[in-house]
Amino acid sequence: MTDASQPTVPNSSLHILDARTKRRNAAESRFKLYGMIAIGIGLLMLVTLLTTILSKGTGAFTQTFVTMEVELLESKLDKTGERDLEKIKKVTTFGYAPLIKTAFEQTVETHGIDTDLKSKTMAKILSKSAASQLRDYVISNPDQIGQTIEFRFLANSRVDGYMKGRVTRDSIANDKNITAAQLDFVDQLIEVGALKKTFNIDFIIGADASDQRPEAAGIGVAMMGSLFMMLVVLALALPIGVAASIYLEEFAPKNWITDIIEVNISNLAAVPSIVFGILGLAVFINYMHLPQSAPLVGGLVLTLMTLPTIIISTRAALKAVPPSIRDAALGVGASKMQAVFHHVLPLAAPGILTGTIIGLAQALGETAPLLLIGMIGFIASNMPGTVGEGLLSPNSAMPAQIYEWAKRADPAFYERAWGGIIILLIFLISMNTLAVLLRRRFERRW
C-alpha cells in the first residue's frame, strides 16, 4: 500500500475548504467584483452626465417675463398723427424707452408698490430687447398708436438668474448690471404678479442673440441649419452609400481594386472628423468658392463623413438576404441587375434605413468639421425663407450653436448651452429609438 505511506492532510474533506481553495475563491469573487465595479463606473458616469445635463439645462426652457400695460403715446411715436409708416419707422428704439419708463411708473402706482427707485433704474430690469420689441409691434400695428396695450417683456438675464437661483444678493456685490435695490423691486413685482417665470417657446424656435442679451437667445435658427444639413446628407449619402454597397456586395469582382476600395472605406470610417473639416475648407470653400458657413457645405462635409457608416451597415443588410432569393430571381429569367433591384434591395431596405438613421444621428451631433467651415462666430439671426436660402445663406447648426454659447463667458449662456444639449439629445434619442423600432418591426430572420 504505497498510498498509505503518503502524508495525508488530516481531516481532509471536499466539504471543508483548505487555505488554498479559500484564497482561490476569494480571488474569484474579487475578480467578479472588479467587473461589477467597472460596469458600475460606466453606468455612474452615464447617470452623472444625464443628471448634470437635465439639472443645468431645464432652466433654459423657462424665462422670466414682466407683464405691463404700455400706453403707445401718439406724441412720442407719431407726432404728425398721419400714421405714415415711413415716419413711424424713423423713431428709433431710444424713442421708445420713455414709454417703458412711464409704464413702470404706472405699474408701481396701480399695484401700490412702495419703492424709491427711479423709473430709469426700474426699466433696467428688462432685457435690452424690450424697446425693439415695442417698436416692432408698433411698426406692424400702426393703428394701435394711442391705445394702451398689455405687453410681456423679457426680464434681463440677471433678474432671470435671480429667479432661477443662479444669482443671489451675495453674488452681485461686484456686478454693475444689477443692484440689491433692483432685486427688492423684483421681489415686489413678484408679489403683485407682474413678474413671472414661465415656459419660453422662443428658446426652442427663436434666433440667437448678441452677447449682451442671453435672455433672448434661442436655438431655432440653428435647428433649421441642422435640418438643411441633414437634408443634404440624406439626399447624397443614402443613394451614393446604397449604390456603393450594392456594387461591392453584389457585382465587384474579387481583385486588387475592390480590395483597395474596401480597405479605404474601413479606414475612412476611422479618420478623425476634423480632417474632413480641413478637406471641406480646402476643397469646397477655398477651391470651389462655395459660400462659407452655408449648410450646403456643412452637409457635403458630413456626407463624406457619414458615407462609410452607411456603406458598412448597408452591406451588412445586403449580406443578410439569403442567396436563394437571388437564385430564384435569376432562375425565372431576371438579369442580375433586376434580381438585385427588384428583390434583394427591397428585402434589405429596413436594415439600410436603420443604418441611415444611425448615420444621420451621428452627423447631427458632429461639431469639429463645422468649426472649420465657419459655422460659428456669428449670430444666426435670420430664419431662412426659402429652400435655396436655407442651403446657401450663412447659418449655424445645433452643436455649433452650443459651442458658441459655451464660449461666451456668461453663466446665462452656459444655461442655454445645456438647454441646447437637451434639445440635441431629444433629437438623437428619437432618431435612435426610431431606428430600433424599425429594426424590431421589419427585421426578418431567414
Partner 1 sequence: MPLSWLVLIILALAAAGYFIGRIRVLKLAGGEIRALHSLPIYYGTNVALSVAVPALAVLLVWLLAQPTLIERTITGMITPEMIPDGSNLNLVMSDVRRVADGLNTAISSGAMPVAEVDAMDATVVDVRAKLGALGVALGQDVRPEVLAAAKSYRSAAVTGNALRAFVVLALALVGFVVSMSKTKPDFRARNVVERAVLAFLMGAASLAILTTVGIVLSMLFETINFFGLHDWRDFFFGTTWAPNFRGDSELSILPLLWGTLYISFIALLVAVPVGLFAAIYLSEYAGPKTRAIAKPLLEILAGIPTIVYGLFALLTVGPLLVNMFGQSGSLGLGWMSGATSVLTAGVVMGIMLIPFVSSLSDDIINAVPQTMRDGSLGLGATPSETIRQVVIPAALPGIVGAILLAASRAIGETMIVVMGAGAIAKFSANPFESMTTITTRIVSQLTGDGDFASPETLVAFALGLSLFVLTLGLNVLALYIVRKYREQYE
Q: Which residue number, 121 or 273, has a Cβ lying nearer to partner 1?
A: 273
Q: Which residue number, 72 or 345, has a Cβ lying nearer to partner 1?
A: 345
Q: Is residue 25 a contact point for partner 1 (CB under 8 A)?
A: yes
Per residue, the 3-state secondary structure of 308-376, as one string, reads HHHHHHHHHHHHHCCHHHHHHHHHCCCCHHHHHHHHHHHHHHHHHHHHHHHHHHHHHHCCHHHHHCCCC
| Residue 47 burial (CB count, 10 A) | 10
Q: Is residue 49 a contact point for partner 1 (CB under 8 A)?
A: yes
Distance between CA atoms of 393 and 387, rounded to whole angstroms?
Answer: 10
Cross-strand partners of 69: 150
Q: Which residue number, 155 or 357, has a Cβ lying nearer to partner 1?
A: 357
Segment contacting partner 1 by CB under 8 A, of 209-217, 272-280, 321-329, 346-354 = 272-280
Distance between CA atoms of 231 and 226, rounded to whole angstroms?
Answer: 9
Q: Is residue 265 a contact point for partner 1 (CB under 8 A)?
A: yes
Report, in Å, the least distance between residue 313 CB and partner 1. Answer: 15
Q: Is residue 45 a contact point for partner 1 (CB under 8 A)?
A: yes
Among 377, 426, 442, 443, binds partner 1 (CB under 8 A): 377
The string of DSSP letters for 111-147 reads HT------HHHHHTTB-TTHHHHHHHHHHH-GGGTTS
Distance between CA atoms of 156 and 180, rounded to whole angstroms?
Answer: 15
Contact 293, 395 (CB under 8 A): yes
Among 70, 402, 412, 423, binds partner 1 (CB under 8 A): 402
Among 144, 171, 210, 267, binds partner 1 (CB under 8 A): 267
Footprint of partner 1 on 127-166 (CB under 8 A) = none
List phi, psi (to 5°) of 219. -110, 5
Footprint of partner 1 on 103-132 (CB under 8 A) = none
Footprint of partner 1 on 162-191 (CB under 8 A) = none
Report, in Å, the least distance between residue 282 CB and partner 1. Answer: 4
Among 67, 102, 177, 432, binds partner 1 (CB under 8 A): 432
Among 104, 153, 203, 403, binds partner 1 (CB under 8 A): 403
Footprint of partner 1 on 314-373 (CB under 8 A) = 335, 337, 361, 364-368, 371-372
Which amino acid, residue 86?
Answer: E
Segment contacting partner 1 by CB under 8 A, of 8-16, 125-133, 324-332, 395-403 = 395-403
Strand order in the sheet with 195-199: 148-154, 62-71, 195-199
Q: Which residue has cell 488530516?
A: 10
Footprint of partner 1 on 411-430 (CB under 8 A) = 414, 417-418, 421, 424-425, 428
List phi, psi (to 5°) of 387. -65, -40
Report, in Å, the least distance between residue 39 CB and partner 1. Answer: 5
Q: Please give the sequence-ordered ranges of beta strands (E in DSSP) within 203-341, or none if there are none.
A: none
Judged by CB under 8 A, the number of residues near partner 1 is 84
Footprint of partner 1 on 218-257 (CB under 8 A) = 239-241, 243-244, 246-248, 251-252
Q: Which residue number, 132 or 432, has a Cβ lying nearer to partner 1?
A: 432
Instruction: Region of 340 please: left (phi>0), alpha (psi -120 to 50) or beta.
Output: alpha
For residue 391, CA distances in Å to 4, 39, 220, 299, 395 come to 92, 44, 16, 9, 9
Among 97, 190, 204, 275, binds partner 1 (CB under 8 A): 275
Report, in Å, the least distance between residue 256 CB and partner 1. Answer: 12
Q: Which helix (H) or strand (E) holds 67?
A: strand 62-71
Footprint of partner 1 on 283-312 (CB under 8 A) = 283, 286-289, 304, 307-308, 311
Cell of 256: 486588387
For residue 165, CA distances in Å to 52, 97, 411 come to 16, 29, 12
Q: Which residue number, 186 or 421, has a Cβ lying nearer to partner 1?
A: 421
Q: Is residue 442 a contact point for partner 1 (CB under 8 A)?
A: no
Among 73, 268, 290, 379, binds partner 1 (CB under 8 A): 268
